[in-house]
């Protein structure tokens, strides 16, 4: 059986720092790099981005939508990026936010997590709002193929609280319930090792983690955290939002990294600077 994703990711963070490089080839960014807004531009964008960040970040996180919008040629560019990352030993977290039931969820899991699939990634983001149990087909790949998942819990968009903060009759919030499911999923991981089920928690959620009574450290989950950089959060927000779980944070940066421009050396320099800043911030929390 393959080494568990959580253990591989944790080792990658030790070696390369906590940054996840978001590979998001949207139109304005392609234009700023002098690239065409088509599949050829997306392919070149992905090639340069991977060349720049390989060895400098814990993983890359391609956003599938920005590839899909160019049809089959865009999806082919995504397949090429995932394969190239795999060849270079760079972990991939495919941001697809899929969530469905039964055979449909099984098909999504097969597409993105089955070893040998043309869209195979090391992990995917998942939406649990048809019920956590609906994610079972993806979780089978976690247990059987060493893959990972990141379950949406407290997202950075302002509308997220309408669902995620809602409470049941016993007062348990939806977000807290998702965290508890993930904690149970990770309970069998060896001591001191991250589980392979992660959570998506936005850096801009303020005091929500505390107010909803969520113990993120107890989940033993890697935390995929958008909201840094262009969305306003920075290294100083780590202790305020995540407290004792700050060492589990994976800092997801797209515009904050890729706005350095389309030259490989400039991107690599930006990745190194961001890595140093966020590694220091996590160290400061751990030593406080």
How far is the C-alpha of 143 from the C-alpha of 148, rounded, in Å? Answer: 9
List 97, 165, 255, 272, catalytic entry: 97
Tokens 């247990």 map to which residue?
143
Beta strands in the chain (DSSP E): 19-23, 59-62, 91-98, 123-126, 148-154, 197-201, 223-225, 249-253
**Structural contact between residues 274 and 228, judged by C-beta atoms closer than 8 angstroms:** no
Instruction: Tell me, yes or no, if 97 is annotated catalytic.
Output: yes
**Structural contact between residues 44 and 23, judged by C-beta atoms closer than 8 angstroms:** no
Tell me the two tokens of residue 36: 């065409």
DSSP 18: S
CB neighbour class for 15 (10 Å; exposed up to 12, middle 13-18, buried from 19): exposed
Interior/surface letters 49-76, b for 16+ CB within 10 angstroms, e for the rest: bbebbbebbbbbbbbbebbeebeeebbb
Cα 137–chain centre separation: 19
How far is the C-alpha of 20 from the C-alpha of 22, rounded, in Å? Answer: 6
Give the max Cα distance, the chain: 55
Tell me the two tokens of residue 138: 């993806």
Catalytic positions, please?
97
């Amino acid at each position: 059986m393959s080494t568990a994703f959580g253990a591989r990711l944790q080792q990658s963070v030790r070696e390369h720092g906590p940054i996840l490089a978001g590979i998001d080839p949207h139109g304005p960014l392609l234009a700023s790099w002098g690239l065409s807004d088509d599949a050829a531009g997306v392919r070149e964008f992905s090639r340069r981005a991977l060349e720049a960040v390989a060895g400098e970040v814990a993983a890359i996180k391609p956003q599938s939508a920005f590839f899909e919008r160019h049809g089959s040629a865009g999806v082919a560019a995504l397949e090429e990026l995932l394969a190239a990352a795999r060849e270079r030993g760079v972990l991939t977290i495919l941001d697809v936010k899929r969530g469905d039931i039964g055979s449909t969820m099984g098909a999504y899991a097969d597409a993105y997590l089955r070893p040998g699939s043309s869209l195979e990634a090391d992990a995917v983001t998942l939406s649990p709002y048809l019920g956590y149990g609906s994610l079972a087909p993806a979780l089978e790949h976690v247990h059987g193929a060493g893959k990972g998942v990141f379950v949406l819990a407290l997202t950075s968009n302002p509308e997220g609280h309408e669902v995620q903060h809602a409470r049941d009759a016993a007062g348990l919030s939806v977000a807290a319930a998702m965290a508890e499911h993930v904690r149970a999923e990770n309970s069998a991981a060896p001591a001191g090792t991250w589980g392979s089920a992660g959570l998506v928690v936005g850096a801009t959620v303020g005091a929500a983690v505390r107010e909803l009574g969520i113990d993120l450290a107890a989940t033993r989950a890697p935390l995929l955290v958008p909201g840094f950089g262009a969305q306003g959060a920075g290294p100083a927000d780590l202790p305020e939002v995540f407290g004792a779980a700050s060492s589990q944070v994976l800092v997801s940066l797209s515009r904050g990294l890729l706005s350095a421009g389309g030259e490989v050396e400039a991107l690599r320099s930006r990745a190194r600077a961001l890595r140093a800043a966020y590694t220091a911030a996590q160290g400061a929390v751990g030593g406080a």
